[in-house]
Structure 1
Amino acid sequence: MIRTLKILVALTAVMMISATAFATDPLTQTVKDGCKVELESYCKGVTPGEGRVLACLYAHEDKLSAKCEFALFDAAVLLERAISALAYAAYECEDDLEKYCADVPVGEGRLLDCIAKNKKKVSKRCLDALIETGLK
C-alpha cells in the first residue's frame, strides 16, 4: 500500500515539480520542507526539472523519513485538490472557452489570460467558478 502510494505521489508530483511555473508554489515547498534532509543527503547533485528530483527520492524510497513520506503524501493531496479545481473551472467555463478562446493553445496560463481578456463577455457561471477555485 505504501509503495503504491509513493508511486502515485511520484507520478503526480512529477507534473508539479517539473513545471518551472510552479517553482515557488505550496506543493513544491511542502516537498522541499518535508524532505529537506533527504534532498540534501541523496539528491544534492540532481538537476531540478523533468521529474529528476522526484526520481531521486523514489530511488531512495527505503531511506525516506516519515516526515518526507508525509510531505509527499500531503503534496499529492494538494495537487489532487488543484486538479479538481481546474477540472471544475474548465467544466464551468467550457462554453466560454469554446466561444472566445478556441484558437488559444493550452498551457502556461494562456486560457486563463484569454478568459481575463474577455471577462466582460464571459458568463457569470464561469467567472464565479474562477473566483470559487482561486484561479481569479
Structure 2
Amino acid sequence: MISPSPIKRRFRPRDLLLPAMIAAPALIAALSVPAHAQMNGQAQQAIQKACGADIQKLCAGVQPGGGRIVQCMKAHEAQVSEGCKSTMAALKAQRAQ
C-alpha cells in the first residue's frame, strides 16, 4: 500500500510574518534585560554603600522584601544621613532621564 504524499505548498514571505511578530519583541526584551539588570545592580550597590548604616540603625527589625525597607526609610526620612539622601536623589534623577 502506498502512503499518500503530503501536499507541498509554495513558500510565501507572509508565512514568516507571525513568527517574526512573536520573536521580535522577545528578542528586544532579552537584549535589554542585561543592561537594566546591571544598572539595577549598580544602583543597589550605591544605595547599600550610602544608606546601609541608616537601614541597619533605623530599620533593623524590618523584614526585607515587598518594599518594606523603602517604606521604613520614608517613615524615618528626617533621620536619614545626608549621604544617603543625596545618593537617593541622584539615582532618582538618573531614572528620570
TM-score by length of 2: 0.65
Q: Which residue of 85, 90, 95 maps to 2:53?
A: 95
Letter in 2 for 1:118: H
Match of 1:5 in 2: none
Match of 2:21 in 1: 37
The answer as to 2:69 corresponding to 1:123 is no
The total of aligned residue pairs comes to 74
1:77 CA displacement: 0.8
Match of 1:46 in 2: none
Two-structure CA RMSD over aligned residues (Å):
2.1
Match of 1:11 in 2: none
The 1-side partners of 2:77 and 2:88 are apart by: 11
1:131 CA displacement: 1.2
Shift >3 Å, 4+ stretches: none
TM-score by length of 1: 0.48
Letter in 2 for 1:98: Q
Match of 2:38 in 1: 80
Instruction: Please say which of residues 116-125 and 75-84 is displaced more in the overlay.
Output: 75-84
What stretches of structure 2 of length at least 5 have no aligned partner? 1-19
1:70 CA displacement: 3.5
What stretches of structure 1 of length at least 5 have no aligned partner? 1-35, 39-63
The answer as to 2:91 corresponding to 1:133 is yes
Match of 1:112 in 2: 70
Deviations 1:14-69 (A, max 9, x none): xxxxxxxxxxxxxxxxxxxxxx932xxxxxxxxxxxxxxxxxxxxxxxxx45x632
Larger radius of gyration: 2
Deviations 1:70-124 (A, max 9, x none): 4311122112211211221122101101110011000111111111111111101
Identity %: 20
The 1-side partners of 2:21 and 2:44 are apart by: 32
